Each structure stands twice: as C-alpha cells, then as structure tokens.
Amino acid sequence: MSAERPRRDWRDTLAEATDLALLGFAVAVAALPLLTLAPAVATASAALHDRAVTGSWPAARTSLTRFGRALPAGAAVSAVALAVAVALGADLLALAAGRVPGGGPALAVTAVVVTALLGYAGLVAVAVGRTGGRGWRAAARQVARTCPHRPGTWAAAAGITVLAALLAALVTPVAVPILGGYALAALHAVDARGRAVAGQPVTGHPPVARPEAS
C-alpha cells in the first residue's frame, strides 16, 4: 500500500507566502546598485526552479555563488534593460501628454508593444532560472522562438508583469519587493503550465550552462 501524500494546510501556505516575500526583499536588496538587477533576478529565478524540482530552496552559499557568476554578463543585461525601459517610459509619457504626434492610436500601439516586451522579459527570466541563473543570450533566443508558438503563455506572462507594475504603483513602497517575489513565482507557474500543455518537460535538474558572453 502506497503512503498518501501529506495534505497541505494553512501553515504550509503561510510558509510559502513568507518565503516568496523574503525572496522579493532579497532581490530588491541585491538590485540596489541597479546594474545588479539582472543577476539578482536570475539568482532568484534559479532558486524558484530548484524549489519546483527538489521541493526545497537552494543553500545560501549556492545562491551567492550563482549571483557572483551572473554578475559580469548580468550587469550588461541590466544596462540594456534599464536603457530600454527609460526610452519606452519616456515615449509613453510624451504620447500621453500630447508632446509628440500620434495621439491615442500611437499610445495604444506603444502600450501593446511595452506589454509584449514585459511578457517576453518575464519568460526570459524564467528560462535563465532553468540554467542556474546564467545564459541570458541563449535564453533570449529560446524565448523568442517559443513565444509565437505559445501565445497564451506569452499573454499570461505579460498580464502578470503589467499587473505587478500597476500594483507597485498603488501599494506602499515597502510592499513592492513582495510583489516582485510573487510575480516571479507566478511567471514560473505560467511557464510550467504552458510547457505541460505543449508536452515539454516541466521540471528536471537544470542543465549545466555553458559560459557565455551574456
């Protein structure tokens, strides 16, 4: 007779919620220099992947090692991401204020593009987590290939990132890091669901990432 799996109760749910909140705060602290944003997200994503595969979080030393290894390429990724975010944000503000031609249609198109890019970036962060927090270039290429074949997953990831951004503008600043941890966990769940529907492996030990320039 096989033993029944233990039933989860409110204590398990509370512990998981607390872990995700702490993960969000850890990412926020590690990302304070701004150029460490991508390495911090990659390390947190790898921790979430380990949690899904093994049922437990990686050791602190493992996460610190991953963070250090992700710094060189991650700093460049952070710089590019921040530059794109500033450019798109300025474009949206200029369109909304009427300082550039195009009006409502141009604003709507730009908003759709920004939303799609946010969903793409979220799925890239998940893909990097599956390779131990490294390999941004390979992850970006992989997600660019799979997004058109998994539009539902892409749309769901975009929705998660947009909702997190909207909530971040509404809640007290101290709660923003909590949203980050929850949003990253939701992106992993959406990606796992999409991979299961597509018949792709959902979990498994992450492959060894080859050293890359980014």
- Domain range list for the chain: 16-197
CA gap 212, 42 in Å, rounded: 14
Q: What is the pLDDT of residue 204?
A: 45
How many CA atoms lie less than 13 Å away from 102 in the CB half-sphere?
Answer: 16
Residue 66 near residue 133 (C-beta atoms within 8 A): yes
- Tens-place pLDDT, residues 24-62: 999 999 999 999 999 999 999 999 999 999 989 999 999
Residue 201 CB burial class (10 angstroms; 0-12, 13-18, ≥19): exposed
CA gap 123, 121 in Å, rounded: 5
> In the chain, which residue ranges form alpha helices assigned H by DSSP?
10-30, 37-54, 60-97, 103-129, 136-146, 151-170, 176-197
Vertex 67: Cα angle to 206 and 87 (nearest 5)? 100
Q: Is the pLDDT of residue 7 over 80?
A: no
Where b means 16+ CB within 10 Å and e means fewer, 79-96 reads eebeeeeeebeebeeebe
Structure tokens at 73: 């390429």
- Tens-place pLDDT, residues 63-117: 999 999 999 999 999 999 999 999 988 888 888 877 777 677 888 888 899 999 9
Mean pLDDT of the chain: 87
